[in-house]
Amino acid sequence: MTCLRLALAQINPVVGDLPGNAAKIVREMRGAKKKGADIVAFPELALTGYPPEDLVLKPQFISDNITGILRISKAVPDIVSIVGFINSGPGGQVYNAAAVMAAGKIIDVYHKMLLPNYGVFDEVRYFAPGERIPVYRMNNVLFGVNICEDIWHAEGPAKWQAGAGAGVIININASPYEIGKPRTRKTLIRQQATDNSVVVAYLNTVGGQDELVFDGNSMVCDHEGKMIAQGKPFAEDLIVIDIDTARTGRFRKEKGLSAAGKRTGREIVPVRIPAAGCDSRKPLKTIPLSAGPVREEEVYAALRLGTKDYITKNGFRGAAIGLSGGIDSSLVAAVAADAIGRDRVTGVFMPSKFTSRASSEDAYALAANLGIRIIELPIRQLLAGYKKDLAEVFRGLPEDTTEENLQARIRGNLLMALSNKFGWLVLTTGNKSEMSVGYATLYGDMAGGFAVIKDVPKTLVYDVCKWRNLAAGRPLIPERVLVKEPTAELRRNQKDSDSLPPYDVLDPILRAYIEDEKTFEEIIGMGFDTGTVRKVVTLVDRSEYKRRQSPPGVKITPRAFGRDRRFPITNRYRSF
């Protein structure tokens, strides 16, 4: 065998859908076989979906998943398949595992050795670490298999398997997206390939799962770190590539790396895989590599996929959005229309006496541009009714934020009534800047089922909207929305800047405090006003109780609220 035809099945599984995921895996196995592949690999925990979280604690779930992997192994016996699943062991231990299947049976099982326990990951809660290091021989090709975190460490399974003679490393993943992560992965995989003089095939899952979005972006790098194949971003894909194993072998021999066990002190388990050769096949055509999307396009794609999968995988008929004529609801509506189709999206315009004509015009213009339905439900009379019923209790007290919040809560009630009646998911429109400092109303504009942009800072909201208009070739989002001053329009002449620093000041402070974990003094040292920093930090710390009651939303930054950043609500610590 002078070449290895490898297929990477970048699929979108559904957590817990064992029959559906198994059927998809078998279809892709057959598709890879038709393309002449010797090996087809599937993502980390492809059978169960990732992350299965506390489903792992259910013995029946583990048993059903093992039954599923055994059935898969018999489905397509004439192609080597690597499939992520959960394996069980003695003493009730379970493992994040990869089944290596051939000839209608499971030949071997690899257990993930390095378990991540940071950020959104808590695999130590569920899995035991693997200890065994197999290297597989298929004819004269030696290859290793490992899982996700295993490849992120220089001293780890990839090095040990390469040191034992493996010329190809297949790493299966469920690596969630955040801004800059695809580029970080490319750097990592190139470094691992170069350091170990091996071909590294990095396979990532794709799809939305609650707050997480998996971006695909699978890749193959040769033994010199050159990328030779890549998968689509934010879409399912089957990447098939011919790997010149003879060339890699010659390179390793010249460097004195071909002898098994020469560079590792770890015990290696050799496993032979039955397979036919591929020398008589015609080589595949080379597919040009793309530069990849720009930042704003990447973020928009993550929001679109996360929204689409949350709505469709949970069986909602459509989506409803409270349209205000502002930038945030405009972006959420555009994302929703692109995610599930304009015919399934309804905008709801709920004017009060404080709503400007410009807001009305912009909300209707946006709906027309997107081709979505718009409903108008004025709230003047409803607000008057609330005030009348509360008049005796509030006698002698001036109007304040109570009456402002009543408007937001009326709107929340109307949106949820539409949700109940028509089976629509209400998409909230608060951004990360607002959620950080609590500039949102509980049971009002926070009411809903999915918070599309809760991890998108306000300044980035503007950038993404500008990109969407550029991509459309026209002002899909009305130009006035991009330039008018942000306002909640809950009182006369209200502006966000009445309560908050300008967003181009607020967002860098929030990033320093939340994502970069800088101290109060360090943030001031960046050139920000002491009083402004103190106000912002205080608002962030005091708003945890609100965020804890907010719906899930797409994670796109390195430190999203909820999964990444978990602070106690009752908390008297102050950093200044």
pLDDT in tens, the chain (576 residues): 568 999 999 999 999 999 999 999 999 999 999 999 999 999 999 999 999 999 999 999 999 999 999 999 999 888 999 999 999 998 889 999 999 999 999 999 999 999 999 889 999 999 999 999 999 999 889 999 999 999 999 999 999 999 988 999 999 999 999 999 999 999 999 999 999 999 999 999 999 999 999 999 999 999 999 999 999 999 999 999 999 888 888 888 888 776 544 445 578 888 999 875 455 577 787 777 877 789 999 999 999 999 999 999 999 999 999 999 999 999 999 999 999 999 999 999 999 999 999 999 999 999 999 999 999 999 999 999 999 999 999 999 999 999 999 999 999 999 999 999 999 999 999 999 999 999 999 999 999 999 999 999 999 999 999 999 999 999 999 999 999 988 887 888 888 888 889 999 999 999 999 999 999 999 999 999 999 999 999 999 999 999 999 999 999 999 999 888 888 888 888 888
d(CA 73, CA 505) in angstroms, rounded, equals 56
As a whole number of angstroms, the distance between CA 9 and CA 83 comes to 10
Question: Which residue in the block uniquely carries the two structure tokens 């096949």?
Answer: 281
Return the C-alpha torsion angle 119, 121, 124, 128, nearest 10.
Answer: -150
Residues in the chain: 576
Three-state SS at 175: coil
Q: Which of 133, 136, 197, 191 shows the shortest CA–CA distance to 162?
A: 197
Note the pLDDT of residue 2.
66
Which of 330, 237, 234, 316 is CA-nearest to residue 554?
Answer: 234
Q: How far, rounded to the nearest angstrom, does the alpha carbon of residue 545 sit from its chain's CA centroid?
A: 25
* Tokens, residue 162: 């390469």
Residue with tokens 């062991």: 89
**d(Cα 88, Cα 23) in Å, to the nearest integer?**
22
280/408 Cα distance (integer angstroms): 69
CA distance 313 to 554: 15
User: Euclidean distance between the first and final Cα of the chain, in Å?
Assistant: 66
Q: Which residues of 317-346 are buried (b: 16+ CB within 10 A; e: fewer)?
A: ebbbbbbbbbbbbbbbbbbbbbbbeeebbb
Q: Structure tokens of 178?
A: 């955040």
Same fold, 4-272 and 295-496: no
User: Tokens in use for 364?
Assistant: 């209707």
Is the CB of residue 541 less than 8 Å from the CB of residue 436?
Answer: no
Cite the active site residues: 44, 112, 148
What's the CATH fold of domain 295-496?
Rossmann fold (3.40.50)
Question: What are the CA-CA distances from residue 507 to residues 203, 230, 394, 461 (Å)?
Answer: 34, 34, 37, 11
pTM: predicted TM-score of the whole model, two decimal places: 0.93
Question: Can you give the three-state secondary structure of 488-556, one letter per residue?
Answer: CCCCCCCCHHHCCCCHHHHHHHHHHHHHCCCCHHHHHHCCCCHHHHHHHHHHHHHCHHHHCCCCCCCCC
465 burial type by CB count under 10 A (0-12 exposed, 13-18 middle, 19+ buried): buried
- Report the pLDDT value the prediction gives residue 252, as an integer from 0 to 100: 83
Torsion 331-337-342-344 (CA) sign: negative
* Structural domain boundaries in the chain: 4-272, 295-496
The pLDDT assigned to 261 comes to: 45
List the CATH code of the domain at 4-272: 3.60.110.10
SS3 content of the chain, % helix, strand, coil (to 5): 40, 20, 40
Which of these, 310, 338, 561, 307, lies nearest to 465 by C-alpha position? Answer: 338
Phi, psi for 86 (deg, rounded to 5): -105, 125
Longest CA pairwise span in the chain (Å): 91
Give pLDDT, residue 284: 84
